[in-house]
Amino acid sequence: MADLQTPSRTTEDVQFGQLSGSLGFLLRLSQLQSFADFYTGMGDLNVRPGEISVLMLIAQNPGVRQGVLARALMIKRAHMTKMIRAMEDADIVSRTVPADDRRSIELWLTDKGRARLDAMQEPFIAHESRNTSGLSDAEEAQLKSLLRKYLGLDAPKDL
């Protein structure tokens, strides 16, 4: 039984044992650390990480079908529908129904959506820079390369 008089350990004193070799655990802590910085650096823009991902991918893939985007970002269909409706209500995304498949929805950025995404670029780049500040350029490139391989993603064309 633990001695109730023993002082609490500090975060630096916590031993992680085999969890320090767990990919899922390391990814989860990394995500939490990254999101904390994201909200600190981009909080004034009133955007969440999932929303900026959606906007960036619609900009990169105009007319992308909503279901395809949801699968690519691993967002549940109901959550994607809710997010897109909110973006449409805010006039940053428009939806069209393609003639060849009336059950699908194609997504496009509006002019307001493009302006919103443009306003996020500089703070997002600063966030990304802070996110990897503890790594050398080579380490950052290797980490990103390994994560893309793990996820089955191709390297960006501009690398």
Cα separation, 115 vs 130, in Å, equals 24
Tokens of 96: 């069209």
- Residue 155 pLDDT: 72
Tokens of 102: 């009336």
Is pLDDT larger for residue 158 or for residue 89? 89
Pairing mode, strands 64-65 and 106-109: antiparallel
* 111-131 vs 49-60: helix crossing angle, rounded to 10: 120
- Residue 112 pLDDT: 98
Cα separation, 61 vs 37, in Å, equals 27
Residue 58 CB: number of other CB atoms within 10 A? 25
- Residue 123 pLDDT: 94
**Using one digit for the tens of pLDDT, what is the confidence trace for 112-158?**
999 999 999 999 999 999 989 899 999 999 999 999 999 998 877 66
SS3 call for 105: coil
- Residue 66 pLDDT: 95
Domain architecture of the chain: domains with CATH: 38-124 (1.10.10.10)
- Residue 102 pLDDT: 83
pLDDT at 5 over 80: no
